[in-house]
Structure 1
Amino acid sequence: MPRRTVAKLATVSAVVAASVLAVAPSAHADLVTYCVGTGGAVTVPNDLYVPAGESCALTGTTITGNVSVAAGGNLVVTGGTVSGEVRVASNGYLDATDTTIGGQVVLAAGGYGAFLKDARTGAITVRPKGSTTIDSFLFVEESTVTGNVNVQAGEVRLDRGTQVERNVSSTGTYYTDVHDSFVDGSLSVLNSSTGSVVCGSAVRGLATFSGNLGGVQLGPNGTLDSCASGGYWGRDVSVTNTTGGVTVDDNIIDGQLTVTSNNPAAQVAANNRIRGGVTGEQAGAGAARAARTAAPADREEAGEQRAQTRRTSAVQEAVAAGDARL
């Protein structure tokens, strides 16, 4: 299995106090339910709030409003439904499995991360890191995103049958990888510090990779990650101003491939089928397969470990705190 994720889902010190139910009116006289602890298959008829530094673990819960996770808080939802949006503050964490989120998911600057598995959500936004010290992450597996994915910090991986119904835009991340997934719109990866890998995936719209320092790998046989196959690209693909190496292997591109201003020159294998031809500088034919080396073995497994560690800690301490009176 591909393993490129740098250790991110490492530790969490989620402190869960006694279960609390507090209701407060907003400017519109709406109610807010505070959650600390665990909750089951009940309906929360208003917004849900996880206080700073606390953990809330919900199973089969329906939330009819919006959800806010305060700084340092943790929200783990399994088999749930959120009618509105989910906003996660600095050092906050969202873990949603087999869950539907009707609105968007927003991770604030310095947010710890978001892990979605077998989930369905609206748009996803990860804010720029700014002056914070925490590198965020967004890991999405076997999920559907009905809006845009816009990420501007940390580690990004779309994997295992994930579908994005609109566009994916990544700027200034640590890396942005797409494995075995489908993007119905465009894909843009700009200024990533350790590059981008796209394997076994389909992108219907334009694809742009530019200014990535760690390289770009489209398909197998590259130096960044191990994977079994290339992908399908419905329109033009552009890889420019990239350092660290560019490899394009085993892809079908129903448009033109542009590879300019890359250092070293791009390696474009003969087994690609490129309808519009190739424009730009390429390495010699003998070098196109020279990147067949052992890929780093830390990315995906370490990332999953980081998510699992924080999830396990949050759930265990939420259970220890007792049932939240939702």
Structure 2
Amino acid sequence: MRYRKIALTAAAAGLMAVGFAAPSQAALTTFCDGVAADVTVPGDLVVAAGKSCELTNVVVNGNVTVRADANLLLDGATVNGNVRVLSNGFADVVGTSVTGTTTLSAAYGTYAEDSTLGNNVTATDSGFFYSVGTDHARSVTSTNGETFIESGWVTRNLATTGDTLTDVYDTVIEGTYSVTGAEQGGVLCLSEIDGDASFSGNGEILQIGASAPLTGCGYNAFGGNLSITDNSADVYVSDNVIRGDFNVSGNTGTVVAENNRVRGEDNSGAAASAAARSRSAVPSDVAADRKAEAKADAEARSEVASDAAEAAGPAFS
């Protein structure tokens, strides 16, 4: 296995690692620009602005920072600390464990697959957070981004505000679920929400369960209340199990609410009656297309990052 350019430097001002001390007692920060495998980083890891770092089977005993316009690809890695992705930075995390928080701040985005994120995930003003087959040990929160979670598990809450969209498939949320002000709305399919769920102020389309307009969707199980209020989106909510109350009110688009099993109070009847008089045509591939676009964006950035890391040149011959 060839190693690429990995620079271990004594920490400069503002870049002090706390987890490792050399004999001189100077802490170390590792700057990564290139490719490496099967190594242990003793302290913090930094991908400098505009650089690309690809690590396989690597242990980082510290925090990870992906600076502006930088890229980090982790495969089979362990991060014993936090991960921060900064302005237009990108992280691709596959088969990896992160014990600390994952934070996106105006990032291009983060893609996580078959990984464990051991603390809160917080994305602010970032392109996307796309998660597949990943366990989230605490909450996932997004503001002004895009959120996709598929075949995952969230131990606490999922909350998005001002996202372009929030789409969740085949996922368990042990806490509450909240989607507010999503420009393109959201899709929730084949999932379990143990706490209360709310959708408010969203546009374009909301599909919660239901077999149409998006095909391949299916019923959800809600352990608490389900509230769908004050949306301009066309709303399709069908074939769900709702153990709490079901509230549908104040929506201005088409509303289809039918065949839901509600154990609490159900006030969706008036909305369903109005929907029977006016159903708008929504393309069945809208949600599928935007999901494919987000994944394609992540794959394209990952490919560019991998090429850049490879081109950085070998660190050792």
Q: Give TM-score scaled by structure 2 length.
A: 0.88
Partner in structure 2 of residue 101 of structure 1: 98
- The answer as to 2:204 corresponding to 1:214 is yes
Partner in structure 1 of residue 163 of structure 2: 173
In 1, the alpha carbon distance for the partners of 2:159 and 2:51 equals 32
In 2, the alpha carbon distance for the partners of 1:242 and 1:212 equals 5
Counterpart amino acid of 1:272? N
- The answer as to 2:102 corresponding to 1:112 is no
Give identity over the alignment, percent.
Answer: 35
Cα 1:100–1:18 shift into 2, 3 Å? closer
Deviation string, structure 1 residues 129-164 (Cα, Å, up to 9, x no partner): 2xxxxx5100000000001111002211000x2000
Deviation string, structure 1 residues 237-283 (Cα, Å, up to 9, x no partner): 000000121111111111111001001352111x2211114225413
Partner of 1:76, secondary structure, is: strand
Partner in structure 1 of residue 73 of structure 2: 76
Shift of 1:289: 8.4
Q: For 1:141, which of 110, 129, 132 is the aligned residue?
A: 132
Q: For 2:313, which of 319, 322, 326 is the aligned residue?
A: 322
- The answer as to 2:260 corresponding to 1:272 is yes
Asked if the contact 1:222–1:292 (Cα under 8 Å) also holds between the matched residues in 2, the reply is no
Unpaired runs of 5+ residues, structure 1, are 1-16, 130-134
Counterpart amino acid of 2:234? G
Asked if the contact 2:6–2:36 (Cα under 8 Å) also holds between the matched residues in 1, the reply is no
Q: For 2:248, which of 246, 249, 259 is the aligned residue?
A: 259
In 2, the alpha carbon distance for the partners of 1:39 and 1:264 equals 53
After alignment, is 274-283 or 238-247 more displaced?
Answer: 274-283
Asked if the contact 1:222–1:295 (Cα under 8 Å) also holds between the matched residues in 2, the reply is no
Asked if the contact 2:224–2:243 (Cα under 8 Å) also holds between the matched residues in 1, the reply is yes
Asked if the contact 1:53–1:74 (Cα under 8 Å) also holds between the matched residues in 2, the reply is yes
Asked if the contact 2:254–2:278 (Cα under 8 Å) also holds between the matched residues in 1, the reply is no
In 1, the alpha carbon distance for the partners of 2:253 and 2:310 equals 53
More RCO (CA 8 Å, sep 6+): 1
Partner in structure 2 of residue 44 of structure 1: 41
Partner of 2:199, secondary structure, is: strand
Shift of 1:215: 3.0
In 1, the alpha carbon distance for the partners of 2:5 and 2:75 equals 21
Partner in structure 2 of residue 24 of structure 1: 11
Partner of 2:92, secondary structure, is: strand
Partner in structure 1 of residue 145 of structure 2: 154
- The answer as to 2:55 corresponding to 1:55 is no
Counterpart amino acid of 1:252? V
In 2, the alpha carbon distance for the partners of 1:202 and 1:27 equals 41
Unpaired runs of 5+ residues, structure 2, are 19-25
Asked if the contact 1:86–1:103 (Cα under 8 Å) also holds between the matched residues in 2, the reply is yes
Asked if the contact 1:240–1:258 (Cα under 8 Å) also holds between the matched residues in 2, the reply is yes
Q: More strand per residue: 1 or 2? A: 2
Structure with bigger gyration radius: 2
Partner in structure 1 of residue 293 of structure 2: 302
Q: How many residues align?
A: 299
Cα 1:63–1:258 shift into 2, 3 Å? same
Shift of 1:287: 5.9
In 2, the alpha carbon distance for the partners of 1:59 and 1:323 equals 15
Partner in structure 2 of residue 14 of structure 1: none
Q: For 2:233, which of 244, 266, 282 is the aligned residue?
A: 244
Asked if the contact 1:265–1:283 (Cα under 8 Å) also holds between the matched residues in 2, the reply is no
Asked if the contact 2:257–2:272 (Cα under 8 Å) also holds between the matched residues in 1, the reply is yes
Shift of 1:323: 4.1
Partner in structure 2 of residue 6 of structure 1: none
After alignment, is 296-305 or 184-193 more displaced?
Answer: 296-305
Asked if the contact 2:11–2:17 (Cα under 8 Å) also holds between the matched residues in 1, the reply is no
Asked if the contact 1:221–1:289 (Cα under 8 Å) also holds between the matched residues in 2, the reply is no
In 1, the alpha carbon distance for the partners of 2:237 and 2:201 equals 17
In 2, the alpha carbon distance for the partners of 1:168 and 1:52 equals 31
